[in-house]
């Protein structure tokens, strides 16, 4: 059985840690999906404009998917202030030009492996039910819906978690 729309043998995908050269791509890829469906919120501006200070310097991690050398996807592990979780999976965005090629799934798997290597036992995320492809991906990765957590985002109407044990 051959999967449709996956990477061809002539295309290359690599996932690398964030560096300053990816700063604009991190912001742009996230602004693209956020402004398409919602509005930019204060927490978006902080994390997207100051990824080093807000995410990396606090022990977080950002992965960048390079498709034929160009940044087309990003995803972050943000250290959690909630004692039930070590990290939040956040700021995942994949360029519409390459959606359907499995890049989001590969990014998600990479981020979960990175979380494990950093000692995470549980990771949570926040999303919106309007983003059905994203929710489907999160479920395929093993996330399950939870209730009762407070969110700093107006748009958040679903929260999910995964146990990495």
Provide the sign of the torsion angle of the four alpha carbons 113, 117, 121, 127, taken in this order.
negative
- Residue 86 lies inside a defined structural domain of this protein: yes
pLDDT in tens, 75-90: 999 999 889 999 999 9
Domain that holds residue 58: 13-163
- Residue 2 lies inside a defined structural domain of this protein: no
Work out the average pLDDT over 105-112: 97
Residue 54 sits at the vertex; the CA angle it makes with 49 and 35, to the nearest 5 degrees, is 40
pTM for the structure as a whole = 0.91
Tokens of 142: 């093993």
What CATH number has the domain bearing residue 21? 3.40.630.30
Tokens of 57: 């310097």
pLDDT in tens, 3-44: 345 555 457 899 999 999 999 999 999 999 999 999 999 989
Work out the average pLDDT over 55-80: 96
- Residue 127 lies inside a defined structural domain of this protein: yes
Banded model confidence at residue 165, pLDDT cuts 50, 70, 90: confident
- Residue 3 lies inside a defined structural domain of this protein: no
Instruction: State how many domains the chain has.
Output: 1
Work out the average pLDDT over 95-103: 93
CA dist 85 and 83 (Å) reads 5
Tokens of 24: 């604009």
CA dist 58 and 121 (Å) reads 18
């Amino acid at each position: 059985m051959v999967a449709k729309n996956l990477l061809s043998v002539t295309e290359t995908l690599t996932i690398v840690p964030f560096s300053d050269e990816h700063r604009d791509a991190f912001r742009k890829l996230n602004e693209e999906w956020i402004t398409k469906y919602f509005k930019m919120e204060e927490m978006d501006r902080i994390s997207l404009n100051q990824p080093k200070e807000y995410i990396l310097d606090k022990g977080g991690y950002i992965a960048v998917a390079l498709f034929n050398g160009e940044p087309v996807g990003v995803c972050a592990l943000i250290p959690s202030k909630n004692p039930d979780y070590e990290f939040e999976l956040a700021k995942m965005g994949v360029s519409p030009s390459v959606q359907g090629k499995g890049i989001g799934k590969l990014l998600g798997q990479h981020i979960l492996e990175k979380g494990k290597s950093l000692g995470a036992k549980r990771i949570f995320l926040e999303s919106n039910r309007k983003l059905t492809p994203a929710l489907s991906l999160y479920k395929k990765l093993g996330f399950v819906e939870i209730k009762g957590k407070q969110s700093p985002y107006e748009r958040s109407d679903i929260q999910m978690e995964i146990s990495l044990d």
